[in-house]
Each structure stands twice: as C-alpha cells, then as structure tokens.
Structure 1
Amino acid sequence: MQTNKISPRLLAMLSLVLYFICLVTPAYHPVIGYAEAGVYYGWAALLLGPIGLFGGHFSWLANPLLWFSWSKFESKNYNAALGASILAIMMALTFLLNGTIPVGSSGSYKYEVLFGYYLWLGSVVLAGFAAGTSRKRSQSAPNLTAEETPSDEAARRSSL
C-alpha cells in the first residue's frame, strides 16, 4: 500500500511563503531597563542584520545561506541545498544563544524573541526538509526526479 508523501517542491514553496510572512511579523524587541523598546519586524531585522555581525550576532548569515539553498534546490543540486540548509539552521539558532543585542548607539540590551523569528526558523527548516527529501529520493531512485514516485515511473514506462 502506497502512502501519499509530501512533495519536496511543496515544502520548498511553504518555506518561501513562511519567509515572506516572517518579514511582516514581529521578530524581536529589545527590553531597555523597565521600558520596552520598539518591536523589530522581520524586514527590519533583515535590513539591519548585517550590523549585528559587528555585535557578535551571526544569525543573519542564515539568510544568504537559505537563499543559496533555494537556488541549489531549483537547480536540483540537492547535496549543496541540504548542506546550505543545515548551516542556515545552525546560524539561525545562534540568535537564541545571545543574551543581548546592540540597539543603535545606546548600547546592548536584552531582547525577547517573537513569533516572526520562529516563522523564519520554520522557513529555514522546511528548506532543509525539502532538500533532504529530494536528496533521499534522487539517491534511492536515480532515474526519478524528486517529484516522481515509483508508481509514476511505472506508469511512464507503460505508456511508452
């Protein structure tokens, strides 16, 4: 009995959708003393992220790794896509390890991680699953594309 499997292409598309949603949702906000600073949305984190590299925040590097993973997935280089996704996951998780974040010229402050960060992390993880699933399928059946199943292959051969 064959079970329906989630398509790697669908996982990649969901990854992309989550990424765009995370850009318009709150990602984090610094807590400054007894007051709370403004909320930083995903688009702001994406634009300001390279500045964080100078403050020891390397999680922003997950973005170019994710973009690279998507491009390698599209070109069917699943090994490179999977490797980039794994590195992107590791980089994205470093955001949870830092206790403070630089806020302009006023110093570094503790911060609270918000929903948008987890959407972003989910996007990175889905890209990894898409690449890993495609890699496994391409290795187990070298004549099949990542989207085909063995029954698809049998149907294609019988129609020839």
Structure 2
Amino acid sequence: MDENRKLEKAVIMISGILFLSSLTQKSYCTTSQCGDSVMVFLLGWFAMLTGGAGISWIANPLLFASWAMLKRNNKISVFLSLLATLFAISFLLFDSILANEAGDYQQVISYKSGYWLWVCSCMSMLVGVSILFIKNKDARVS
C-alpha cells in the first residue's frame, strides 16, 4: 500500500472514530436538559428544516460526502470538509435551539464533549484531506 493510501485510511479512521465517539456523549445543554448526540444526529434533519441552529446539522451529510470523495477527488473532499467544519462551528452562533415538536426554543447554556468531538471529526477530515491534496498537487508539479 503506498503512502497516500495509508494516509487516506488514517484520515478517514481518525475522523470516523471521532464522529462515532461524539455520538456516545452529550452534545449541548439547554436550561432544562442536555441533548444526547445520537438523538441530535438522528432527529437533527427535522430541526434543519426549521432554520436557526438546526442548519448546522447540514455538516453531517457534507462530512459523509467528504469521506466518500476522499479517494476519488481530493479537491472536492477538501471543499466538502471545509463546508462541514463551517456548518458544525456555526452552531456556536446561535444562542437557542428548537426544543420540541411544538416549536418551543430553549437557550443553549453549554457545549458538551459530543459537540466538540463532532467538530474535531470535521476538522480532522479537513486537515487530513488538505495535507493529501497538497502532497498530490506537489507530486504532479515535480
């Protein structure tokens, strides 16, 4: 296995392990409860449709697409992982979150390890695929 394939495997493994680890933790706390990351992941698409902080859920399909594109096109994978990272971080811009199906919002009072592991998953993918892109670009120039 050549060096690039090993690095691709490592990048996906690190990002994937961070992502799966994030699902086992609490993601954020509101004034009434802390959200389980796995539930936020499974039901986040609904909050995404309502706008606001839910829009950050778009980071998930962007991250998955970045994983899928890694072996095919590093340039697209860099772009997708950058967008995933930006959408994940965008959650910090909102001070309240949709709390239930009735449309009630609650203030976010803290961010837990599940959120930070999710962001790290996106960021590790961005850094890893950027390194691969630069290495491959340099190899083509030489």
**Contact 1:55-1:102 at 8 Å conserved across structures:** no
Which of 58, 75, 78 is residue 79 of structure 1 equivalent to? Answer: 75
In the TM superposition, residue 113 of structure 1 has moved relative to its aligned partner by 1.3
Which of 89, 113, 133 is residue 131 of structure 2 equivalent to? Answer: 133
* TM-score using structure 1 length: 0.77
Deviation sequence 1:124-155 (CA, Å, 0-9, x none): 001111110110010111399xxxxxxxxxxx
Question: Which contiguous aligned blocks of 4+ residues in structure 1 show a shift greater than 3 angstroms?
Answer: 6-9
Identify the residue that residue 153 of structure 1 maps to in structure 2. none
Identify the residue that residue 94 of structure 1 maps to in structure 2. 90
Structure 1 unaligned regions, length at least 5: 1-5, 145-160
Please state if 1:124 is matched with 2:99: no
What amino acid does structure 2 have at the position aligned with 1:101?
Answer: I
Identity across the alignment (%): 26
Larger % of helix: which? 2
Identify the residue that residue 3 of structure 2 maps to in structure 1. none
Deviation sequence 1:28-75 (CA, Å, 0-9, x none): 1221xxxx32x2121111112112220422110000000000001032
Q: Residues 8-157 of structure 1 correspond to what in structure 2 (within 5 A)?
A: 8-31=8-31, 36-37=32-33, 39-53=34-48, 54-57=50-53, 58-75=55-72, 77-104=73-100, 105=102, 107-111=104-108, 112-142=110-140
93-102 or 105-114, which deviates more = 105-114
Q: Which has the larger radius of gyration?
A: 1
CA distance in 1, matches of 2:9, 2:103: 45
In the TM superposition, residue 8 of structure 1 has moved relative to its aligned partner by 4.6
In the TM superposition, residue 81 of structure 1 has moved relative to its aligned partner by 0.2
Q: How many residues align?
A: 133
* TM-score using structure 2 length: 0.86
Q: SS of the counterpart of 1:24?
A: coil
